[in-house]
Structure 1
Amino acid sequence: MIFPATKARRELDKQLSFALYGAANRVSRMHKPYLEPLGLTFPQYLAMIALLDGAPIGVGALGSQLGMDTGTITPLVKRLEAAGLVTRKRDSVDERRVLVDLTPAGRASEQAVRSVAGQIVSACQLTDGDAEKLRLTLEMLAGSASD
């Protein structure tokens, strides 16, 4: 006889969404010991990567890149500003737009911030090839989910 909880667990284990949820939570938690010495949370880390790739950038554009709405990205940027890693200023061409740029301290953190990705891949015990395949699969899934 199969107990209902056991049967339900088997169904849960078959769910793609459950596996993705668990993996996302685990990977996010794995970042903590690497980000704490940098004084960054996981979302702040993602923002710093985006800024290192192309600052200055508008707050709205940064939020779009990260899949965050204004109510999420604005407080995050304010905390990065309070930490001395970024500046915010009005765009001289369009004063409605706020530009985010890295401070010298933010730029100086580049090597440490960028090294986290390799540490995570190593901690996940993935080869570079496996990590790339997984990333491409997840990007494809995320792209089709947003269509």
Structure 2
Amino acid sequence: MSFEVTRAFNHLVSPHLEDPYPLFEELRREAPVVFNPSFGMWFVSRHEDVAAVVKDPVRFSSAQVLAPLQEPSPALLAILGEDRSGVYPLLSSDPPVHTRVRSLVSKALAGPRLASARSSRAWKARSRSRS
């Protein structure tokens, strides 16, 4: 048996952007841990593998590994100045910083904001794929 270790795909363009779940299902089945050279990073798609990764920040650190997918706007750059260290604190940090920021973000996204998100196209696509 052979396993695919490298695979190029872009989950941020159509049709994956509108409905990413068929791609995620294919990755779980055919390439559950795969390096994507287009993004220069590893993708882990099975729940048990993801759980193992997030519980081991020493071996699987997120610190300083995520570059922005697009350059910040001139307005944002003017606000940030030279210090861009706080732009992606949730995605590119490890505990305890990640834990603190996640707690704040979770509170901000609760209640009415979550209800609004559930009416979005992405949420509806996810619901369809699970039925």
The structure that is helix-richer by fraction is 1
TM-score by structure 1 length? Answer: 0.24
Whose Rg is larger? 1
TM-score by structure 2 length? Answer: 0.26
